Amino acid sequence: MNGSMDPAIHEGSRGMRFGFEARVLAVADVVEAISSRRPYRPGLGIEAALKEIDKHKGVLYETDVAGACVRALESGKPLNP
């Protein structure tokens, strides 16, 4: 990650770091927001969400978390067995 979303940059030297769970939720939230219908637009689908995550992994989204999300969704396996 390039630090553009790192609160430590904006909070000074005693800034906080996001925990693993927060980084997973950030990626999941983006996937849900892009793929789901909104009152102002139709859902753009999982493919659009995966392109966004893949395009910005390592910059806005942690590489490992983004990669795991893409692999899980591309596998076609149900995420809630």
pLDDT in tens, 41-79: 999 999 999 999 999 999 999 999 999 999 988 888 776
Question: d(Cα 59, Cα 75) in Å, to the nearest integer?
Answer: 24
Which residue type sits at 73?
L
User: 71: closest CA among 45, 59, 57?
Assistant: 57
Question: d(Cα 3, Cα 38) in Å, to the nearest integer?
Answer: 30
pLDDT of residue 4: 58
Count the residues in the chain: 81
Please state whether 71 falls in left (phi above 0), alpha (psi between -120 and 50) or beta. Answer: alpha
pLDDT of residue 74: 87
What are 39's two structure tokens? 């009152």
